[in-house]
Amino acid sequence: MTRRAVIVAGPLACALALAGCQQETAAPEPVRPVQSVLLEADHADDVVAVGVIEPRYKTNLGFRVLGRLTARPVYVGDIVSEGQTVGIVDSTALELAVRAAKGQLAKAEAQFATVRATEERQRTLITTDATTKQTLDNAEQARAGAEATVAHEQANLTKAIEQLGYSQIKADFAGVVTAVGAEVGQVVSPGQSVVTIARPDVREAVVDIGEEFPLPLEVGLPFTVSLQLLPSVQAEGRIREIAPQADPMTRLRRVRIALSNPPDNFRLGATVTAKLDKHQGTILRLPASAVLVKGGANFVWTVDQRDSTALLQEIQLVAEQAGVRVTGGLAPGARVVTAGIHSLKQGQRVRIEQDEKP
């Protein structure tokens, strides 16, 4: 081959090689098969919990002493005022104890008067050497002992009078009687509930919610509570208290919903239904495998339905036991890739293999 041919062939080969590299670089990304899920909304406001209206504050009143119930002037549904007597037990033994304590105090005071007078005489006689210092010391000691006895008997009398007051139970606040635990003639023990009084001004809805509830239960979750017989009568409320564990028989958890300005129709014992607030009604869920974490933010790959390309989209979420709940960044109807999310590229064409359940 001539030198001229060699000079021409060299640049030609380089050009062909460069063209091959450009063609290889410009080759499109292969279509990638992926698994995906079509995001559908769960309507949480369709779930209804049934419960009753109960008072937030109530107390069980009982006696502090053993006795036979002689009077219980209130019944279920009665309105009572603060300080009103709602129960009385036989106080004969307590009254006798007060009399005995008064007698013991009078005896102690008489003895104290005697020894005090004796001490004064001995103190006068010691100035004329008509008695001994030992006798005066004994008189002073007797006076101090009698004084202590008087103080002791006074304390016993105060205790007896206080226990006499235990023969009656009085309402600590104005309210309504919701239950009675003893009848007249019955012997009641100390601490046994005789009357239950509730404050009707502060009411709340008490409902039982199962494990199928679409949202995790948390304090402050808003609800709309309505009367079961009159659904148009409603009140807004938020969860105030959640039972720490479910009932072992029913697997339901007791939830207390504090009501904001409940209407008068929300009487104690009324049956109500509780539904999630309408702003909490749409729930979007995804499997945890669909979430890609980058730089402290959460992303998912969505599939453009028009040209089947993958698009990276940032979302807001709340972690749950069975996956994640989307709180922002996605709308119902979006198709989200659930497998192979770490190997996709922006704008890459994908092929839908099968759907998964969220």
pLDDT digits (tens, 9 = 90+) for 289-305: 888 888 888 898 888 87
pLDDT digits (tens, 9 = 90+) for 281-291: 567 778 888 88
- The answer to whether residue 5 is domain-embedded is no
Judged against a pLDDT cut of 60, whether residue 353 lies above it is answered with: yes
For position 316, which CATH number holds? 2.40.420.20
Judged against a pLDDT cut of 60, whether residue 24 lies above it is answered with: no
Residue 78 φ then ψ, to 5°: -75, 145
Of 231, 264, 281, the last residue of a domain is 281
Same domain? For 204 and 275 the reply is yes
pTM for the structure as a whole: 0.59
With cut-offs at 50, 70 and 90, classify the pLDDT of residue 127.
confident
Percent pLDDT > 90 in the chain is 44
- The answer to whether residue 23 is domain-embedded is no
Percent pLDDT > 70 in the chain is 87
For position 273, which CATH number holds? 2.40.30.170
Distance in angstroms (rounded) separating the CA atoms of residues 61 and 201? 19
Which range is least confidently modeled, 8-17, 165-174, 224-233? 8-17
For position 114, which CATH number holds? 1.10.287
Same domain? For 321 and 205 the reply is no
- pLDDT value, residue 5: 44
The more confidently predicted of residues 194 and 296 is 194
Which range is least confidently modeled, 1-5, 10-14, 106-110, 336-340? 1-5
Residue 156: its H or E element: helix 133-165
The more confidently predicted of residues 157 and 327 is 157
Same domain? For 134 and 226 the reply is no
- pLDDT value, residue 6: 45
Judged against a pLDDT cut of 80, whether residue 3 lies above it is answered with: no
Same domain? For 229 and 128 the reply is no
Of 243, 261, 281, the last residue of a domain is 281
Q: Is the dihedral of CA 72, 75, 76, 78 positive or negative?
A: negative
For position 69, which CATH number holds? 2.40.50.100
Of 234, 252, 281, the last residue of a domain is 281
- The answer to whether residue 20 is domain-embedded is no
- The answer to whether residue 116 is domain-embedded is yes
The per-residue pLDDT of the chain, averaged, comes to 84
Same domain? For 191 and 216 the reply is no
Same domain? For 277 and 203 the reply is yes
Judged against a pLDDT cut of 50, whether residue 23 lies above it is answered with: no
- pLDDT value, residue 218: 85
Same domain? For 100 and 72 the reply is no
Distance in angstroms (rounded) separating the CA atoms of residues 11 and 8? 6
Judged against a pLDDT cut of 60, whether residue 224 lies above it is answered with: yes
Same domain? For 133 and 250 the reply is no
Same domain? For 121 and 226 the reply is no
With cut-offs at 50, 70 and 90, classify the pLDDT of residue 28.
low
Distance in angstroms (rounded) separating the CA atoms of residues 277 and 279? 5
Distance in angstroms (rounded) separating the CA atoms of residues 278 and 276? 6
Q: How far apart are the first and last CA of the chain?
A: 70
- The answer to whether residue 25 is domain-embedded is no
With cut-offs at 50, 70 and 90, classify the pLDDT of residue 339.
confident
Query: Residue 67's CB: how many other CB atoms inside 10 A?
Result: 20
Q: Which domain holds residue 180?
A: 62-89+168-196
> What's the total number of domains in the chain?
4
Three-class secondary structure of residue 157 per DSSP? helix
pLDDT digits (tens, 9 = 90+) for 49-97: 899 999 999 999 999 999 999 999 999 989 999 999 999 999 999 999 9
- The answer to whether residue 328 is domain-embedded is yes
- The answer to whether residue 294 is domain-embedded is yes
Same domain? For 253 and 349 the reply is no
Same domain? For 190 and 78 the reply is yes
In terms of average pLDDT, the best of 127-136, 154-163, 257-266, 298-307 is 154-163
- pLDDT value, residue 2: 47
Q: What is the mean pLDDT of residues 123-149?
A: 88
Same domain? For 84 and 175 the reply is yes
- The answer to whether residue 1 is domain-embedded is no
Three-class secondary structure of residue 153 per DSSP? helix
Which range is least confidently modeled, 6-10, 119-123, 311-315? 6-10
Please compute, for residue 76, the number of CA atoms within 13 A of its CA located in the half-sphere on the CB side.
8
Closest by Cα among 325, 327, 335 to 288: 325
